[in-house]
Each structure stands twice: as C-alpha cells, then as structure tokens.
Amino acid sequence: MKKALLLVDLIKGFGQEGYDKNMYCQNVEKIKKNIQELAEYANKNSIPTIYCCDSHQSNDPELKKNGGPWEEHCMKGTESSKIVDWLPSSGLLTLNGTNSNKKVINNDKNVFRVDKRTYSRFYNTVLDNFLRNNNIKEVYIAGLVTSICVQHTAADAFFRGYKVNIVENGCADINTEKHENSIEYMKNNYSANILRMNKNQLE
C-alpha cells in the first residue's frame, strides 16, 4: 500500500518564535527532533512528504474579522506562512489544480506543499486529488496543533477512506491534556493507528 507523510502547519507562524502574535506553539520544541527524524525517515524510505500549510486570505471565515475565532495569521505570501527553517524544504513542488492531476511522485522530487485556508488539509485543496492520482491509500500525519488542524485533517482522511496513522510524538498542542485527549479521540473515532518516532524508526 502506497503511503504519504502529511506534515501539518510546520510553518513559521506556528512553529518558529517571533512571527504571528499568540500563534507560536511553544510545545513544538519538544517534538522538533522527532519531526526532523520523521522527515529523514520518509526520505530514506521513499515516502512522499507533503507540507500542508496555512495560507490565509483576508476573507477566510476562521478569521475574527469575519466572525471566526482567530486573528489574522499565516497570511498568503507572508514570511509566517513559509515552512520552518529547521526542516528541509528546498526544491519542493507546490501542488495546484494542474499538477495534482498527474503522477508526479518520482525518486528525484518527493517533497510537496499544499496550501489551505482552514483547519483540514483536505477541505477545498488539491490534496485528495493528488493522493488518489498517485495511488496513495495510507497517510502518516504529524504537526501542529494536535486538537485542531491535525485532528481535522485526520477526520477528513478517514472520511475519504484513507488508512490513518498519527505520529503521536510528532504532534504538539498548547498543553498536554488537549494533546492526549485528541490522540485518544482520533484513535477511537477514526481507527487511527498511533505511532511514535524512536531512534529514526516508526514504532
């Protein structure tokens, strides 16, 4: 079964201090090494890596000025929407309506980016189209934050028939309780397989 790694919101607004006010998730420091090992593991095992990134526009419904809960953050074209400096992202291909229709996974370019405007990486994006066109049926999910964007992405993957794996020590939330409750919820409701990175191996 072909697999893909979805790295959720590992962008500067959430994963690197000094960008969007009140959006930085401090607990990312606890998982940084695991995420780096996970990216390396995917590369060594020819598992395509897809960075799933907030890239908001001014009329997005989750923004407070439009009735949503959040101030402006990770806006399209800004530094805070770029992938964190501590992960390799050079040479990645940004997926769009044209190239997501092709079988674009090969040994030379195996790292991609999908921009999204709300919590789920599948909602109104080309991600599902890309995965299906490349015969991917199983996803590993890691990133920020566990109880919001990771959980919504896992839900949409499950609803679409993908086998869901959550890399528990590759996810972080604003506190331990939210993280643990979300992990348990995904396990119980989406039949998610809960894994951990341990010495460059997934267990």
Evaluate whether 194 touches 141 at the Cβ level (below 8 Å): no
Domain-wise residue ranges, the chain? 2-202
Which residues are bridge partners to 139 per DSSP?
A: 4, 164
The string of pLDDT tens digits covering residues 141-165 is: 999 999 999 999 999 999 999 999 9
Q: Distance (Å, rounded) from C-alpha 125 to C-alpha 113?
A: 11
Mean residue pLDDT across the chain: 94
Fold (CATH) for 2-202: Rossmann fold (3.40.50)
The yes-or-no verdict on residue 107 having pLDDT over 80 is no
**Omega before 84 within 30 of 0, i.e. cis:** no
Neighbours of 178 (CB within 10 A): 17
The string of pLDDT tens digits covering residues 64-91 is: 999 999 999 999 999 999 999 999 888 8
Helix pair 151-159, 176-189: axis angle to 10 deg? 10
